[in-house]
């Protein structure tokens, strides 16, 4: 019996301990292959942009768009920020940057505040017709923006806030409501109902439960909401160009004016720098809060 099983000690009584893992199975090769291709696909344009923005115009004219800069210059970045021409004025896109900040900050705060309270009310304080209200809201999430543009222009004109910062903030709040309310409602509905009941027995009212009990429990979902809104509002072009008015054009609109200027030489390096500057804010937001974002999404935005 034993004599036939003496080839290796392991063979005596079969496998033992941790199962060995093979490095290069077809599955892992496929997996990493796809991941690498996807990464290159997304990173290559970014690489070209960064490289180009650091070159002078003579170097760009040589045409080697993948070559790293021979003579690194930051002048295009300075020009883009400070003195590139956007239409008639030549003050760079810093004006647009500050406009975007002025639109994004109140837009995010107001829409998150309203949506979180609505979501909380829909989840925990059922009222007559709350289901109907929720259905309407869901429906609203699927209506394309363009359909509502003209009616909203008229509405804002009648309210006297067309072409103002207030106007564009209001519009962003309106468009953010359906998806954000859905997000918050589902999250609050996933919290244990017994905590809500306990708070009611403890004599807390609508606002006390929301502010003192629910809010501290819901940081991840607020982070998700903030990220969605910051990137959404910052990247928005259409609503900004329609509702903000000339003096309040957000950064995206200014960027378009820089890049699509028809006069003079096309300064590719300045265009690239301006684009990178515009994309910087959402990028930083994702990098800083990516982990919280994933946790928040996993915590209840998708399920429920």
Partner 1 sequence: MTSSVSVRDLNLSFGPLTILDELSLEIDDGEFLVLLGPSGCGKSTLLNCIAGLLDITDGQIFIKGRNVTWEEPKDRGIGMVFQSYALYPQMTVEGNLSFGLRNTRMPREEIRQRVARAAEILQIEPLLKRKPAALSGGQRQRVAIGRALVRDADVFLFDEPLSNLDAKLRSELRVELKRLHRTLKNTMIYVTHDQIEALTLADRIAVMKDGIIQQLADPRTLYNRPANRFVAGFVGSPAMNFLDGTLVEADGLPAFRTRDTVIPLDGYAQAERLEPGRPVVLGLRPEHIRLGPEAGNAPHRFEAQFELDEPMGADNLVWLRLDGHPLSVRTETVDGLAVGDRVPIAVNLPMASLFDAESHRRL
- Binding footprint of partner 1 on the chain (CB under 8 A): 192, 194-195, 197-204, 208, 212-213, 216-217
C-alpha–C-alpha distance, residues 6 and 24, integer Å: 30
Minimum gap (Å) between residue 130 Cβ and partner 1: 15
Minimum gap (Å) between residue 194 Cβ and partner 1: 4
CB nearer partner 1, residue 208 or residue 231: 208
Q: Is 86 helix (H, G, I), strand (E, B) or coil?
A: strand
Asked if residue 200 lies in contact with residue 209, where contact means CB atoms within 8 angstroms, the answer is: yes
CB nearer partner 1, residue 117 or residue 213: 213
Using the 8-state DSSP alphabet, how is residue 303 labeled? -
Residues 6+ apart with CB under 8 A from 207: none
Minimum gap (Å) between residue 212 Cβ and partner 1: 7
CB nearer partner 1, residue 117 or residue 204: 204
* Residue positions counted in the chain: 304
CB nearer partner 1, residue 217 or residue 294: 217
* Torsion region of 264: left, alpha or beta (phi above 0 gives left; psi -120 to 50 gives alpha): left
* β-pair partners for 89: 86
CB nearer partner 1, residue 37 or residue 195: 195
**DSSP string covering 36-80, please?**
HHHHHHHHHHHHHHHHHHTS-HHHHHT--TTSPPSS---HHHHHH
CB nearer partner 1, residue 207 or residue 286: 207
CB nearer partner 1, residue 44 or residue 195: 195
Minimum gap (Å) between residue 215 Cβ and partner 1: 9
Minimum gap (Å) between residue 115 Cβ and partner 1: 21
- Rounded to the nearest 10°, the torsion over CA 3, 5, 6, 9 is -140
Residues 6+ apart with CB under 8 A from 81: 92, 93, 94, 97, 273, 274, 277
């Amino acid at each position: 019996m034993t004599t036939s099983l003496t080839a290796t000690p392991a063979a005596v009584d079969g496998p033992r301990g941790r199962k060995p893992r093979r490095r290069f199975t077809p599955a892992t090769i496929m997996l990493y292959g796809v991941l690498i291709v996807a990464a290159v696909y997304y990173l290559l344009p970014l690489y070209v942009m960064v490289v180009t923005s650091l070159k002078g115009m003579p170097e760009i004219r040589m045409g080697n768009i993948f070559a790293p800069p021979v003579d690194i210059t930051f002048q295009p970045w300075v020009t883009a920020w400070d003195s590139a021409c956007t239409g008639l004025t030549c003050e760079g896109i810093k004006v647009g940057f500050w406009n975007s900040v002025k639109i994004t900050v109140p837009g995010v705060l107001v829409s998150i505040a309203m949506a979180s309270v609505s979501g909380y009310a829909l989840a925990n304080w059922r009222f007559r017709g709350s289901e109907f209200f929720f259905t309407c809201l869901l429906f609203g999430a699927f209506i394309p923006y363009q359909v509502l543009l003209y009616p909203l222009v008229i509405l804002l004109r009648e309210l006297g806030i067309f072409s103002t910062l207030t106007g564009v903030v209001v519009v962003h709040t309106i468009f953010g409501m359906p998806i954000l309310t859905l997000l918050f409602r589902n999250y609050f509905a996933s919290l244990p109902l017994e905590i809500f009941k306990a708070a009611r027995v403890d004599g807390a009212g609508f606002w006390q439960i929301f502010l003192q009990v629910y809010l501290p429990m819901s940081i991840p979902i607020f982070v998700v909401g903030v990220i969605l809104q910051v990137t959404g509002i910052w990247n928005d072009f259409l609503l900004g160009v329609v509702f903000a008015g000339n003096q309040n054009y957000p950064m995206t609109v200014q960027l378009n004016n820089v890049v699509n200027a028809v006069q003079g030489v096309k300064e590719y390096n300045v265009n690239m720098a301006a684009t990178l500057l515009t994309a910087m804010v959402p990028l930083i937001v994702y990098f800083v809060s990516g982990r919280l974002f994933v946790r928040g999404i996993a915590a209840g935005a998708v399920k429920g």
